Amino acid sequence: MFFCGEHRLSLDEKGRMRIPNKFRAKLDDEYVIFCLSNDCLFIVSQQDFKEKYERLKDTLISDETQQEAIRQLFATMQVPEEDSQGRFVLQPRLKKKAGITKKMVFLGVMDRIEVWSEEAYDARYATENMDMMQVARTLNI
């Protein structure tokens, strides 16, 4: 699975969201939404999540620091239940974490989809501020 590009959508009048069709077509039927950033949410297939985070199951119960981190990760995780039109209600905790009130930006980033509030995304990644040569140097391409 490879995601790229940017799509802008809004929550509907009932506060429901949907994943843009181009992204949804590439995403497995079962996926998770979680927060590992202070600015955005991540969407990945459940299978990808299981593969990447398989090692977490080996965390010792006695390792309180890691157990607390696992609790926080899973507490902010949602397995959406879509309606017949692909819409679902985003948990209030996740909306708050990402600062989403109405407008959102869905960003394809390799194997994940990021969901940003439009305001946060535009403030951080306004196209006129992008220095693509700096991007190339940072990525050694």
Instruction: Summarize pLDDT for 95-121 with one digit per residue, the tens.
Output: 999 999 999 999 999 999 999 999 999
Confidence band, pLDDT 50/70/90 cuts, at residue 76:
confident
**Among residues of the chain, what percentage have pLDDT more than 90?**
65
In a 3-state reduction of DSSP, which class is residue 117?
A: strand
Mean pLDDT of 68-90: 93
pLDDT at residue 127 greater than cutoff 70: no
**pTM to 2 decimals?**
0.88
pLDDT of 92 > 90? The answer is: yes
Q: What pLDDT, on the 0 to 100 scale, is given for residue 116? A: 97
What per-residue confidence (pLDDT) applies to 128? 64
Residue-wise pLDDT tens digits, 4-13: 999 999 999 9
The pairs formed by 61-70 with CB atoms below 8 angstroms and a separation of 24 or more are none
The CATH number of the domain holding residue 60 is: 3.40.1550.20
Number of Cβ atoms within 10 Å of the Cβ of 86: 14
Q: How many domains does the chain have?
A: 1
pLDDT over 80 at 129, yes or no: no
Mean pLDDT of 19-24: 96
139, HSE (Cβ side, Cα atoms, 13 Å): 7
Query: Of 41, 18, 45, 17, whose CA–CA distance to 30 is shortest?
Result: 45
Average confidence (pLDDT) over 50-76: 87
Residue 40 has pLDDT above 90, yes or no: yes
pLDDT-based confidence at 53, cuts 50/70/90?
A: confident
Q: Are 98 and 116 in contact (CB under 8 A)?
A: yes
The residue segments making up the domain with residue 84 are: 3-138
Q: How many separate helices (H) and strands (E) can be counted in the chain? A: 6, 7
Whether residue 58 contacts residue 74, with contact meaning beta carbons closer than 8 Å, is answered with no
Q: How far apart are CA 70 and CA 66, in angstroms?
A: 6
